[in-house]
């Protein structure tokens, strides 16, 4: 357990209250009260805060409730042995060294104690300066462990910060891409943002894990990014598209997928983008996927995207009133759209209708 750690320097002589001892919380457990009192009196003089008990059951409660810097425990005690105490301490206080004590020394016992995870082993009767030396080593060990933990936590915080910075950068880059499309096609202005707001609300309603919300928001902003590759004559055509033109327009999911899928962190996003025109009945495009073959997040994106298209005014249609939108989704639930997502949308509209109205800013009344 301790092999990889440097051997600490010997502690100062007794009575000098070195820094390493000061205020440290030590638990002493022995069914012989005299030993507990002797040890704690000595450790108190060294500036340590020593708590002792001759009842192992009490020690079990304390280990579950309190923090200790070092635990010293007798091995042979009625009901609960020092090995049991050691196992509990390793589980509850994994950074607290445990020193076992026994008046029945043997090589086998020593090896067994270390094998079970004890920091060290004291043989009774012991001299107090030996207890002091052993405790000093244990406290140095704990100090190193705690410093190492603090260092690891600091590193983890730094990694989290860098990851967040990268994620923010990615999000802003995506917004720029989305704005590039909106600059070409004014009818999509604000569409990605609104879909993103709704998609996250729906994901929350459906219990989608929070870690997936960011990918959903990005997919909302980028679902039509492939339209960048569609000619102006089709993308900006005011009238109805011919069958050939419509077929070309459908390529936007394919183009979007090929723009996004080479970016490792957008792998999932590219899948949602690829699937956002599939239908539950398999009559969508590009692959005619059906039911659960379509990712649930793609199904959420589909509903959010269509909701925005219906709820906002376009050159070819006015904004639909809320009742008409509800009827449309109810009618299409199970054929075009996932009925669970439709139910989540309707319940969201019941709960947050006013808030969602604000989001779509007069899109319907």
- Shortest Å distance, C-beta 160 to Fe ion: 34
What is the enclosing helix (H) or strand (E) of 108?
Answer: helix 107-115
- Stretch touching Fe ion by CB under 5 A, among 64-72, 218-226, 233-241, 349-357: 218-226
**Contacts (Cβ under 8 Å, ≥6 apart) of 216:** 196, 199, 200, 203, 208, 272, 297, 300, 301
Q: What is the DSSP letter of 169?
A: H
In the block, residue with structure tokens 């600059």: 183
Q: Is 24 a catalytic residue?
A: no
Out of 224, 268, 275, 338, which residue is the one contacting Fe ion (CB under 5 A)?
224
330 neighbors 342 (Cβ within 8 angstroms): yes
Total residues contacting Fe ion by CB under 5 A comes to 1
If one asks whether residue 182 binds Fe ion (CB under 5 A), the answer comes out as: no
- Stretch touching Fe ion by CB under 5 A, among 28-36, 219-227, 287-295, 321-329: 219-227
Instruction: State how far the Cα of 214 lies from the Cα of 216, in Å rounded to an integer.
Output: 5
The string of DSSP codes covering 225-273 is GGGGGS-HHHHT-SSPPPHHHHHHHHHHHHHHHHHHTTSGGGHHHHHHH
- Shortest Å distance, C-beta 360 to Fe ion: 18
- Stretch touching Fe ion by CB under 5 A, among 128-136, 223-231, 267-275, 281-289: 223-231
Q: Of 30 and 224, which CB lies nearer to Fe ion in the complex structure? A: 224
- Shortest Å distance, C-beta 352 to Fe ion: 25
Q: Which residue is nearest to Fe ion (CB)?
A: 224
Among the listed residues 9, 25, 124, 227, the single catalytic one is: 227
Q: Of 30 and 275, which CB lies nearer to Fe ion in the complex structure? A: 275
Collapsing DSSP to helix, strand or coil, 333 comes out as strand
Q: Of 83 and 277, which CB lies nearer to Fe ion in the complex structure? A: 277
- Shortest Å distance, C-beta 224 to Fe ion: 5
Q: Of 77 and 230, which CB lies nearer to Fe ion in the complex structure? A: 230
Q: Of 195 and 349, which CB lies nearer to Fe ion in the complex structure? A: 195
Q: Of 83 and 252, which CB lies nearer to Fe ion in the complex structure? A: 252
Instruction: State how far the Cα of 254 lies from the Cα of 226, in Å rounded to an integer.
Output: 7
- Shortest Å distance, C-beta 304 to Fe ion: 12
Torsion of CA 34, 35, 41, 42, to 10 degrees: 150
- Stretch touching Fe ion by CB under 5 A, among 18-26, 63-71, 197-205, 224-232: 224-232
319 alpha-carbon distance from chain centroid: 40
Interactions with Fe ion, residue window 246-275 (CB under 5 A): none
- Shortest Å distance, C-beta 273 to Fe ion: 8
Structure tokens belonging to residue 138: 């244990």
Separation in Å, CA 112 to CA 5, 90, 120, 142, 176: 21, 15, 11, 22, 64
- Stretch touching Fe ion by CB under 5 A, among 41-49, 216-224, 291-299, 351-359: 216-224
What residues act catalytically? 227
| Interface residues toward Fe ion, by CB under 5 A | 224
């Amino acid at each position: 357990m301790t092999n990889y750690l440097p051997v600490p320097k010997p502690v100062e002589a007794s009575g000098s209250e070195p820094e390493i001892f000061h205020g440290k919380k030590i638990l002493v457990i022995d069914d012989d009260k005299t030993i507990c009192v002797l040890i704690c009196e000595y450790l108190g003089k060294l500036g340590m805060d020593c708590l002792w008990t001759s009842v192992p059951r009490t020690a079990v409660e304390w280990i579950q409730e309190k923090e200790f810097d070092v635990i010293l425990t007798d091995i042979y005690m009625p009901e609960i042995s020092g090995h049991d105490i050691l196992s509990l301490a390793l589980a509850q206080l994994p950074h607290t060294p445990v020193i076992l004590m026994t008046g029945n020394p043997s090589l086998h016992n020593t090896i067994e104690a270390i094998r079970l995870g004890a920091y060290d082993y004291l043989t009774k009767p012991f001299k107090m300066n030996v207890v002091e030396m052993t405790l000093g080593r244990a406290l140095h060990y704990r100090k190193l462990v705690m410093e190492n933990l603090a260092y690891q936590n600091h590193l983890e915080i730094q990694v989290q910060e860098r990851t967040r910075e990268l994620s923010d950068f990615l999000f802003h880059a995506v917004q720029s891409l989305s704005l590039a499309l909106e600059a070409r096609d004014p009818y999509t202005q604000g569409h990605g943002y609104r879909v993103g707001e709704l998609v996250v609300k729906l994901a929350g309603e459906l219990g989608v894990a929070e870690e997936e919300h960011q990918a959903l928001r990005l997919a909302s902003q980028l679902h039509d990014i492939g339209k960048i590759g569609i000619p102006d004559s089709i993308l900006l055509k005011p009238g109805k598209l011919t069958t050939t033109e419509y077929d070309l327009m459908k390529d936007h999911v394919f183009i979007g997928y090929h723009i996004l899928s080479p970016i490792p962190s957008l792998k999932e996003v590219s899948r949602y983008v690829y699937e956002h025109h599939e239908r539950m009945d398999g009559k969508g495009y590009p692959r005619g996927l059906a039911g659960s073959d379509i990712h649930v997040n793609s199904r959420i994106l589909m509903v959010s995207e269509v909701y925005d298209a219906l709820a906002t005014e376009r050159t070819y249609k006015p904004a639909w009133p809320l009742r008409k939108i509800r009827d449309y989704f109810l009618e299409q639930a199970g054929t075009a759209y996932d009925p669970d997502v439709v139910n989540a949308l309707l319940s969201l509209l019941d709960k947050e209708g006013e808030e969602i109205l604000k989001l779509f800013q007069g899109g319907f009344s």
